[in-house]
């Protein structure tokens, strides 16, 4: 390699070394960087050259900082006066994500039930590489959920097609599936046994309870529907425009996503209605976990709280069923009767 080319590439190698081996808790001295240049690239460089290249990288805004600055008193040879000279040492690269932020992103993947196992592992590995090697070493102790759960390898392709369709305001045709006892997805069928194809107007992709959902409208109906994206077995983008949202019941004023999500717990469909239920005071935190700040509370005394909010009746029936031992729905009457019927069937199922 020509000497001039070697000098120019030193700065790139120093940047790579700082990215790979340093962070705030693991800085490197100029000598340590010089040693790395020799061991990793076979380049012999003195500390002055390292110092000059680091200064150039810092001036160019590459996010390199000295962790320590040491003030030394020196005598100015020209004036004979004593001056303070600040020496920078222990340099580190400030990565785009902090380790705590990467941990949060990785935890989100670990507990995602939609992302297939092998794609989850690849994504976690890529996230680990966004920090220094010190963080990557600790990644050995991170394990994704096991590979035994069923998975749809088309998940990311489905998301890509849906995202483009939503952006361009186009319809899609899908084949929706269900899992059988063989742990494989099977296409839903029509009455004649043919594969059922559904025409959808896609509006929004959301993540809820560790899964990806599509908020859309099934073209032959006028209401909102939710589809699990990992259950879509086949998808075909169409050139036909989507149905305008103002022609879909519940979306006349647009899709207010935050409101929609708390009104449709676990992504159950249905028009929201005013619901009231009673809980013990100790259960308030659980209610807030599910419904956020959209619940009105009234202290009834004796340790009980009355709650009120607008929510899908289907969603509320399933939610209240999970906590039937502590939650008592008091309105609407039709919802109360649905829950009673649900409990009667549950009792019968267990011979009570």
| Mean pLDDT, each 10-residue run in order, the chain (352 residues) | 65 93 90 93 91 92 86 71 76 86 76 70 81 70 52 82 93 92 86 95 83 90 90 95 90 74 67 90 88 88 92 87 92 91 91 87
Q: Residue 262: which residues within 8 A CB-CB, separation 6 or more?
A: 290, 291, 292, 294, 309, 311
Predicted confidence at residue 8, as pLDDT, reads 79
Predicted confidence at residue 35, as pLDDT, reads 93
Predicted confidence at residue 172, as pLDDT, reads 97
Grouping H, G, I as helix, E, B as strand and the rest as coil, residue 244 is coil
Cis peptide before 332 (omega within 30 of 0): yes
CB 173 within 8 A of CB 198: yes
| Helix (H), strand (E) at residue 166 | helix 155-168
Closest by CA to 242, choosing from 318, 337, 166, 316, is 166
The backbone torsions φ and ψ at residue 65, rounded to the nearest 5 degrees and listed phi first, read -135, 150
- Say which DSSP state 190 is in: -
Predicted confidence at residue 262, as pLDDT, reads 61
**What residues are paired with 298 via a beta bridge?**
306
Predicted confidence at residue 150, as pLDDT, reads 59
Q: What is the pLDDT of residues 12-70, one digit of tens each?
A: 999 999 999 998 888 999 999 999 999 999 999 998 899 999 999 999 999 899 888 77
């Amino acid at each position: 390699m020509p000497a001039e080319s070697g000098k120019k590439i030193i700065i790139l190698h120093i940047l790579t070394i700082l990215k790979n081996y340093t962070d705030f808790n693991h800085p490197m001295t100029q000598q340590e960087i010089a040693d790395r240049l020799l061991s990793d690239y076979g380049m012999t460089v003195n500390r002055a050259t390292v110092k000059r290249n680091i200064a150039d990288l810092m001036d160019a805004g590459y996010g390199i900082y000295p962790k320590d600055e040491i003030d030394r008193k020196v005598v100015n040879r020209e004036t004979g006066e004593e001056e303070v000279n600040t020496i920078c040492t222990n340099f580190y690269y400030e990565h785009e994500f902090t380790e705590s932020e990467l941990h949060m992103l990785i935890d989100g993947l670990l507990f995602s039930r939609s992302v297939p196992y092998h794609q989850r592992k690849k994504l976690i590995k890529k996230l680990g590489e966004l920090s220094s090697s010190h963080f990557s070493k600790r990644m050995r102790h991170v394990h994704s959920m096991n590979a035994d759960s069923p998975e749809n390898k088309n998940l990311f392709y489905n998301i890509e097609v849906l995202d483009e369709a939503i952006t361009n305001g186009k319809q899609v045709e899908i084949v929706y599936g269900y899992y059988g006892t063989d742990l494989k997805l099977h296409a839903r069928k029509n009455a004649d046994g043919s594969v059922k194809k559904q025409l959808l107007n896609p509006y929004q992709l959301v993540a809820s309870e560790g899964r990806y959902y599509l908020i859309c409208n099934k073209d032959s109906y006028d209401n909102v529907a939710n589809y699990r994206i990992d259950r879509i077995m086949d998808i075909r983008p169409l050139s036909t425009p989507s149905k305008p949202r103002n022609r879909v019941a519940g979306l006349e004023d647009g899709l207010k996503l935050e409101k929609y999500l708390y009104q449709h717990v676990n992504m159950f469909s249905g028009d929201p209605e005013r619901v009231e239920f009673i809980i013990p005071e100790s259960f308030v935190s659980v209610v807030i976990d599910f419904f956020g700040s959209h619940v009105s509370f009234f202290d009834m005394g004796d340790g009980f709280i009355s709650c009120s909010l607008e929510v899908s009746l289907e969603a509320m029936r399933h939610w209240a069923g999970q906590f039937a031992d502590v939650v008592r729905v008091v309105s609407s009457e039709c919802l109360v009767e649905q829950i009673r019927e649900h409990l009667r069937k549950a009792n019968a199922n267990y011979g009570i």
